[in-house]
Amino acid sequence: MSKHPAQWDEARHTLGVGEMDDAHREFITQVAALIAASDAEFPALFQALVTHTREHFMAEGRLMREAKYQGLGVHEGEHHRVLGELQQLNRTLKRGHLPLVRAYVKEGLPEWFDTHLAMMDGALVMFLKKRGP
């Protein structure tokens, strides 16, 4: 069992920026649905996660650009890396390697999310709050 359950934890996950919190809550909801999904449901739900993640990362990128966030390059680099992994896993899934993708969703993705949220998104939110409206 992952030490990072795919479950929204208000105290740990809420950053205080509504748009980001909503996207993160939806991400966790989708990961939890994937973990519980049947083999037949899994591919469509995984594609929905890839789409959601792409849109979330694009919105966060716009937010960082508008705020002239100095950590943009590193943060977006991480987004590109993870989105690339998800897209590769989607191709792997289409070739019939469901157990591999399930393992990533159950173990790797929740752990990555918690780390990314605490470090990269947390730093972005501190910058946004310090900068003000």
- 74 falls within a domain: yes
Concatenated DSSP letters for the chain?
--SS-SS--HHHH--S-HHHHHHHHHHHHHHHHHHH--TTTHHHHHHHHHHHHHHHHHHHHHHHHHTT-TTHHHHHHHHHHHHHHHHHHHHHHHTT-HHHHHHIIIIIHHHHHHHHIIIIIHHHHHHHHHH--
Rounded average pLDDT over 18-30: 94
- 3 falls within a domain: no
- 4 falls within a domain: no
Provide the CATH number for the domain around residue 95: 1.20.120.50
Tell me the pLDDT band of 7, cut-offs 50, 70 and 90: confident
Domain that holds residue 115: 10-131
If one counts the domains in the chain, the total is 1
- Asked whether residue 2 carries a pLDDT value surpassing 50, the answer given is no
- 5 falls within a domain: no
> Model pTM?
0.89
- 43 falls within a domain: yes
Rounded average pLDDT over 77-88: 96
- 102 falls within a domain: yes
- 57 falls within a domain: yes
Rounded average pLDDT over 49-59: 96
- 120 falls within a domain: yes
